[in-house]
Structures are given as C-alpha cells and as structure tokens.
Amino acid sequence: MTEQSVTQQGVNHLVVVGNGMVGHRLVSTLRARDGDGTWQITVLGEESRPAYDRVALSSYVDGASEQDLRLDDAGLQDDPLVTHHLGDAVVEVDPGGRRVTTASGRTLGYDALVFATGSYAFVPPVTGRELPGCFVYRTLDDLDAITEAAAAAVATTAPGRRSAVVVGGGLLGLEAARALRLLGLSPQVVEVAPWLMPVQVDARGGALLHRLVSEQGIAVRTGVSLTGIVRDRDRLVATLSDGVELDADVVVFAAGIRAADGPARACGLPVGPRGGVLVDDRCRTADEHVWAIGECAALEGRTYGLVAPGYAMAEVVADRLLGGSARMRPEQLDTSTRLKLLGVDVAGFGDAHAATEGALEVVVDDPVAGTYAKLVVAPPSSTGDASTLLGGVLVGDASRYGALRPLMGAPLPADPVALISTGGAEPDASALPDSAQICSCNAVTKGDLCAAIDGGAHDVPALKACTRAGTTCGSCVPALTRILQQQGVELSTALCAHFDHSRAELFEIVAGAGITSFSALLSRYGRGRGCEVCKPVVASILASLGTGHVLDGEQASLQDTNDHFLANLQRNGTYSVVPRIAGGEVTPAGLIVIGEVARDFGLYTKITGGQRIDLFGARVDDLPAIWRRLVDAGFESGHAYGKSLRTVKSCVGSAWCRYGVQDSVAMAVELELRYRGLRSPHKLKSGVSGCARECAEARSKDFGVIATEQGWNLYVGGNGGFTPRHAELLVSDVDSATLIRTIDRFLMFYIRTADRLQRTAPWIESLDGGLDHLRSVIVDDALGICADLDAAMQRHVGSYADEWAGVLDDPEKLSRFVSFVNAPDAPDPTIRFVPERGQAIPAPAPVLLGVPEVSAR
C-alpha cells in the first residue's frame, strides 16, 4: 500500500527511521521548536514497543515495568503532525525517488529522512553462538527471553549448578552479570582485555574493580576469549582460549555493539571503515536530504555508543531542519561514564588513559578502603603548573564525578591530590566556566542552568523540567544543587586565582606602568606562579602593546600550543599551515608555490570559508622548512593560530562584478594588511562586500563593510559559531579614510576593554548602553580617548613584523621546532596517515588492519 500524506501547503514531510532514545529526542525537539508546524513527521520503528529508556535497561530485571521505562511521549501521541508506525521495519530506501518501503508494504515519500536506527549487539563469530540458550543483551525483548530461560533453569537445575556465562566485561557485560544474578543464576564474566571495563578505566582501576566485583559473588576471567559453545544434554558448555570449559544454563553476549546501518548501506550511502553512516558535523549524509544520528552515524568516521552524543546530534538535526546553522562540536562528543555496578561505583571521563603526550597522572589508591582515584593533568610544558584537568578514573567511590568532570579543560581549583583524597577539597560550581558541561547526557552547560535559574527555575525539579539536566543517568543532580546554592552570590571580576584584576584592568596596568614581562606583572600585581588562564591573557596583552615577538624570551613560555608553534595543532599531532591571502586575492605564481609546498611535504589542502588555503599534516620539525618556501615566495603567517585577525573576506567588487559599486577587493586587502597580527581577546573576522547583495557575508563578521553608492557602511559585532549574531550598523555612507579610522578605534577599544575570550558580539552587549555607547566613544569621542586609540593603532601598523620570518631569522627560536628535544632529528612515530580522495588524512586510532598507511612526505 502507498500512503499519500494530505497536509496543508508549505508542510514538509520528515521520515524518522528508528524509534529509540535518539529518534525520540529528535522528534520531541523538532516539535517543541517548530511552532509553525512546517514539518509533518512519520516515525518507523522496528520494535513494536513505544520508545523506552535503554540506559535504565537493567532496572527492568530489578522490578521496573515497561511503563516505568517508557519515554514521555504523551504530547507526541496526541500530536496531529506526528505519526508512529511501530513493528514495521524499513526494508528499502529509494533516495532518487525519496521514498521508503516498510516490511508491511507501506510506502512513504519524504522531503527529509533521518536514520536513527541505533545499533545491534556484536556476537563474536564462534561456533554454537546460535544455539538455544544463547542471547544478546540489547532490548526489552532480549531481557524477556533471558528472564524466561533463567526461570526455566532455576526450576530444573540444582541450586549449586545454576550458572551463566557473560561474554564481555565492559559496561553492558557487567550490567548483564548483575541482571543474571538477580534472576537466580551464578554469572561468570569473560573479558578478552587484561582488565574489566578497559575503555573507561586503567589497569589499576580495573584490578580494583575485578576484586570488588568478585567479592559480590561473580567470577571474572580476563585476558581470555570465547572460542566455541556446544550443547551437552540440557546445558551449554563454553570453551575459552586457555582451554577452560564453563558449564552454563545461559550464555549472554555483551561484547559490544555495531552500527545498525543496513538500510543506509543498502541504498548506497557511504559508511565508515568500522560501520556507521558517514555524516558531516551537520549530521548530514552524502545525500543532502538524508541525515543520520546516534549509534548508526559515523561522525568523522567514528561511531559513538553513548546516548549523550546521540542527543546532541538530534538537537543539531532539529535545528538544521528548521533553517538553523548548528553543528556538532567536540565537547558534544562526550564519552564520560558513571554508573553503579553490583554496588560498585565506577566512573571514567576524558583522557582516562593519559594518552596525551606528556600527561601526568595523580593517583590515590586505597586498597583497604576499596577506592581508586586518578586525575590526568596536562604536562607542565603547556600549562606551567600542571593544573589543567584532562580526564580521570574513579572506582569504589565516584561521588566526586559530578564536580570533577565539568572541570575538564579548565584549571583545577585546588591541588589535584586534595581533590581526590578522602576529606580533601571539594570542587564547587563557582570554579566552572559557563561553557562547562554539567549534564553530559543532554549537553547542558552551567550557563544554561544559570539562565534557567535567572528565569525562575529555583529548585532541582524545575531545573530538570526546564533544561533536561539530570533526567537521563542522574549523576549530575548533586551539581544542580550546588549551582542553585551558589547562584545569587556576587561573582568576582578577578581574572583568576593569581590576579584580583579583570583583563581590562590588567591591560591598563601593563600599558600605564610600562610592564614588558609576565613575571614583572605577577610580582607587582599578582601572586603565585600563574596558570593557563592568566598566562595566555597576559601574553596577548603584551603582544597587543607591541613588546616583541611572541617567542622572545619569557613570552614563549606563556603561549598555548598553537601560538607556541605558530601553527594550528590537529587531532593527530600534526599542524596546519595557513599563509595569508589578503582579501582572498592570490596570483597564479603564488598558487603554484602553495601547490608545490603541499606536494613536496605531503600536505592535505583545503580551501576555507575565509578564502584561504589550509595546508594540513605538517610535522613540527617540518614547519620552518615549509615557512621558508612560503616566505621566500612572498607569503607570510595568516595568524590562523592566534587570537587575532584571521581573514578579511571579499567579493570581486566593482573591478569585475556588474553590480559592484566600490572596489571591495582593494578595501579588503588594505584592511587585512593593516590589521594583520593584531592580538585581541578573541579571534577576529571581517568581510567587505562590493554592493548590497552581500556576497562576502560581511554582516556575519566582527566588523563588516558593505559598499554603497556614496561610500561604505560599517557593521560591527557579528559572530558565527554556537550563537550566531548579525552585525549592527555603526556608521553609514562614510568615505574610505573615515571608515578605516572608525575601524581602528573600534578594534583598539575592544582590545582594551573586553574580557578574556570574549567575542565582539557579547562585548558590545556587555557595554552599558551597548551599540549607542560604543558609537559615542569611538565616533563622537565622548570619553576623549580617540586620539589615544588612533595612536595605538598607528604603533601597531608601524611595528608589524611577520612571525614566521622572525623565527627563520633566529637560531634560538628555530631550535624549538623538533618532535623530541632529546632526539631532534627523529620524527614522531605515532603520526600516521591514510589516503582519502587523493590526499593524506590522519589514520584512525588504532590504525585499522587492511587500511594502507601513507607517508606525510
């Protein structure tokens, strides 16, 4: 049968394939935001049950009913724009005709299709895996079958012989072991890795977990695998790789999951090397009408088996379907986990295995108390005092997980040992930035919670209802309480624990007192040794005031990784090199040089949205040689690594375009060359459009220029990113000299008064009087500081020097660019590449068997 949806004009048809937690989140989010009813939604579910909470699956064995686990969808069931067809799997997708066909013969057309098919349980290819009594642990139907088999075993087997084998010692395997014990069986866990939960915890944490689980009456065998299962009369015999045979009434496979990408694969959509529909950071597949979210999606080639990234993907797709510009961000791919297994608290978050080069491990191991805690902090070479939290492991007592996990990437508020010691310092919410994720399951930040509190959510239930924080796994509920307690306390304006002054106050101190070094500022106006917050801020202030090359003397130690190597660090340990192409204008000879450099050094090339060419995959020891070739050809640093001006984008303007009214290219080149290297609180982007058609997208920039018949309009405070904002008109129909003078003052006033890492849009909003106040200061000179701002910009323009060239002319600076200080000629052996579309990209980690590696050179 064919269904032809009859809807009002202007309504689009969305088909969601899958009715799990992530598919449910997409539908509920889209309906909550789609006030105009622009999408009619049809949900096709393979399971016959309504959507339920898989995170709490084990509670089903512990007495919870299906109704208890059911996700709240009362509103969706009554929604005329949402239709559910359950127990009717999709058997065919026709992308060309934009149709799907289900097992019942139902055919549906669509304007957009979202795969939310989740995953299926991985079963190792061992003989006997399909025998009666063998199960997977994935759905409520699976648990019903396991419960029935366990009940039969209890009824027919002597008490001492009732047993089960669980294949897999990860999160799901230990949950399955607990469930089997509740059903009256004695489970034995078989894990091929050397310790339990190898993804979440390290070897020492795994050893303690092994002991604590064994004390609960569950046998654990690690470092062995299952090789086969046979039937022996009315029981099963599982043989292990070490020759041991285990009798069992039930064998449960909980050895991992695989992306349920069958329907997408069948219709020709590309999939990742380890499964999963390939999607970009918009969660869109190779077909512009098809999306994929959750465990069936492979974002940048990787699938994620936790609900939090899936929820984030659902939010992104809902936004995109309604015309938004949301994209997946790295912090949304949070794989942190906390759970209580068999009475044992376990948590792992961030870089739990200290895989970051040079990372330090702070461990408190108390075998008597049965607790193990480890924090992984950044190496002193990048932070100065090893205060940045990279990850951690908690076994036996994970009560501090909710306070520690949001601190990842931020300076620790106390000594790491004290933070994980019994009776030590308790992290509090006031130490967290607003961007810190408090609820990783639902991607709720501290800022979201504070906004909800300001809006009247004054208790935990209200916060849950308003933000969804604490509604999935519940581990963040204590943090919600702490934030509620601490709201209303006036927050300090101090930059960090080492300075009582704000960034703007420190700028005035440095400029007024003539301070030229961090140590001098710290000794006179601060305390301690400094941290990863104040060091880069002071480094930026010193650079803004023209105190020399960023790698001169003490300044070099203040820089973060990107500034330290004058290049952008990429995920595989290589760097990207971005030469300046002012206004997007480049000669054929220049293009040839860039191409030759990329070819000779094996670099991946990508044209950016800012009209530049990025060269990816450069090893740190190759950077000077790459720069030498580019500098000799007339290129210079594009400052893609710095909190400074990135690009001034332009259209072709009146030189070529029949609609252009001013020479936008010439203006863009002049502005980019004038402000190149200008250090600021955050990155700066600009654009110049030659007419009102706005091809350079100038109104999405920090400062944007649009040509008019009479001259130029200047717009300021536009930002892209997570919270996009259009720039606002500051001055109109001005000549070129007035335009440049106004931009000079705007930038200098921003650099002097903005907070750390504050973009121009929130900075303008923070000004008392907003845009009107800004106009009065830099146009009307209401504060009498314009002459000073003009002079400051002239000093910058007059003192500019290319940072790449500054390194090439200085042997001491050049000595920094080696992979290993103690072996300067040795390349980093951990850097590997694989071919992709004719270029080299980072190899997955670990490198996949059968995928050829390529050299970067």
pLDDT tens by residue, 372-409: 999 999 876 554 555 788 889 998 888 788 778 888 87
Amino acid at 777: V
- Report residue 498 as tokens: 């080492």
Q: What are phi and psi of 841, to 5 degrees?
A: -125, 165
Choice between 564 and 380, residue whose per-residue pLDDT is larger: 564
Question: For domain 134-255, which CATH number applies: 3.40.50.150, 3.30.460.10, 1.10.10.10, 3.50.50.60?
Answer: 3.50.50.60
H or E stretch at 804: helix 803-808
Mean pLDDT of 347-354: 86
User: Left (φ > 0), alpha (ψ -120 to 50) or beta: where does 246 sit?
Assistant: beta
Strand-pairing partners, residue 687, are: 649, 704
Query: How far apart are the C-alpha atoms of 839 and 654, rounded to whole Å?
Result: 37
The structural domains of the chain, with segments of one domain joined by +, span: 12-120+259-328, 134-255, 336-427, 430-491, 503-559, 643-798
The confidence score (pLDDT) of residue 490 equals 42
Query: How far apart are the C-alpha atoms of 653 and 281, rounded to whole Å?
Result: 32
Q: How confident is the model at residue 827 (pLDDT cuts 50, 70, 90)?
A: low
Average pLDDT, the chain: 85
Contact by Cβ (8 Å): 321, 30: yes
Number of H helices, E strands in the chain: 28, 38
Q: Is 507 helix (H, G, I), strand (E, B) or coil?
A: helix
**% residues pLDDT > 90 (the chain):** 47
Range name among 22-36, 47-61, 576-590 with the lowest pLDDT average: 47-61
Q: Is 417 helix (H, G, I), strand (E, B) or coil?
A: helix
The confidence score (pLDDT) of residue 723 equals 61
315: exposed, middle or buried (Cβ count in 10 Å: 0-12, 13-18, 19+): buried
**pLDDT tens figures, 501-546:** 888 889 989 888 888 888 889 889 988 878 778 888 898 898 888 8
Please check whether the two domains, 134-255 and 643-798, share a CATH topology: no
Mean pLDDT of 720-741: 86
Count of other CB atoms within 10 angstroms of residue 601: 19
User: Where does 643-798 sit in CATH, by number?
Assistant: 3.30.413.10
Q: Is 450 annotated as a binding residue?
A: no
Show the DSSP H helices in 458-517 as ranges.
460-467, 477-486, 503-513
Mean pLDDT of 175-190: 89
Task: Confirm whether pTM is higher than 0.75.
Answer: no
Q: How confident is the model at residue 78 (pLDDT cuts 50, 70, 90)?
A: confident
**pLDDT tens figures, 429-479:** 666 677 777 776 777 888 888 888 787 777 666 777 778 877 766 667 667
Question: For domain 430-491, which CATH number applies: 3.90.660.10, 1.10.10.1100, 3.40.50.970, 3.40.50.1820?
Answer: 1.10.10.1100
Q: Is 695 annotated as a binding residue?
A: yes
Q: Is 691 annotated as a binding residue?
A: yes
| Crossing angle (nearest 10°) for helices 503-513 and 534-544 | 50
The confidence score (pLDDT) of residue 811 equals 87
Mean pLDDT of 690-713: 93
Domain 336-427: CATH architecture, name and number where available: 2-Layer Sandwich (3.30)
Winning range, highest mean pLDDT, from 31-40, 109-118, 167-176:
109-118
The confidence score (pLDDT) of residue 284 equals 96
- pLDDT score of 822 more than 70: no
Contact by Cβ (8 Å): 828, 842: no
Contact by Cβ (8 Å): 342, 177: yes
The confidence score (pLDDT) of residue 288 equals 94
Cα–Cα distances in angstroms (integers) from residue 223 to residues 191, 242, 336, in the given order: 6, 9, 24
**pLDDT tens figures, 584-641:** 999 999 999 999 999 999 999 999 888 899 999 998 889 999 999 999 999 999 998 8
- CATH T-level assignment (fold) for domain 12-120+259-328: FAD/NAD(P)-binding domain (3.50.50)
Q: Is 657 annotated as a binding residue?
A: yes
Q: How confident is the model at residue 489 (pLDDT cuts 50, 70, 90)?
A: very low
245: exposed, middle or buried (Cβ count in 10 Å: 0-12, 13-18, 19+): exposed
